[in-house]
Amino acid sequence: MAFVNYSSREINVKIVYYGPGLCGKTTNLRYLYDRAPDRLKGRMISLATETERTLFFDFLPMNLGKIKGFNVRFHLYTVPGQVFYGASRKLILKGVDGVVFVADSQALRLDANAESWEDLRRNLENYNLSIPPLPAVIQYNKRDAPDALPVPVIRKALGDPGLPEFESVAPDGIGVFEPLKHLARDVLNILRR
C-alpha cells in the first residue's frame, strides 16, 4: 500500500497510532517530532476537533537506508480516540502500512482498550486488511500509573493478539522509539520483498 513517488525517488509509508481516547497517541507523536532533526521532518499538522486532535507529520529517517534507490519517507498519524469520531478513524486507516496500537495501562481504561482494538479490527476489514499480515505492534502506555494493570491482563482483554509488545511512559520518552523502530523494520521487510 506504500505510495511510490517516482519524481522524488521516495516510497511513502503510512503508520497510524491507534487506541482509545487520551491513551497517549498524541504524546507519542509529539515526542517523536520534537526529537527528529529539522532537516528530515515536515511540519506537524494538527486537525483539531472539540475534544481530540488528529496529528500528522512526515519524516525521512536516513538511517533506514534505501530500497532499490528510493528513500523511504514515513508519514505518522494519530486517530481521534473518542467513540463518536468513528468515521475519522476509518478514513485515517485508508492506505495504512502499519499500526502502533497504544493501550492505556490504567485499570479504568481496560474496557476502552478492548473496544478500541475491536474498532481497529472492524475498520481494517473495510479495506480488506487484518492484523496480521498487516504489520502492527502494541505499546502499553502509562506504565508509571499507580493503578497500571499487569501487561498480561491488558493483553488478555485485547484477545491475546500475539504481536510485538512494548511498555512505555510516553511523556518521558520511555518506550516511545522502540515500537516505531520495530514496526518500521517490519514494514520495510515487506517492501523489500
Contact yes or no for 20/192 (Cβ under 8 A): no
All domains of the chain, ordered by start, with CATH?
3-192 (3.40.50.300)
132 to each of 8, 67, 102, 111, 187, how far by Cα in Å?
31, 23, 17, 23, 12
**55-113 confidence digits (pLDDT tens):** 778 777 766 778 888 989 999 999 886 665 667 888 899 999 999 999 999 999 999 99
Query: Phi/psi class of residue 170: alpha, beta or left (left: φ > 0; alpha: ψ in -120 to 50)?
Result: alpha
Query: By three-state DSSP, how is residue 142 classified?
Result: coil
167 to each of 27, 77, 137, how far by Cα in Å?
14, 20, 11
pTM for the structure as a whole: 0.93
- β-pair type (136-141, 98-104): parallel
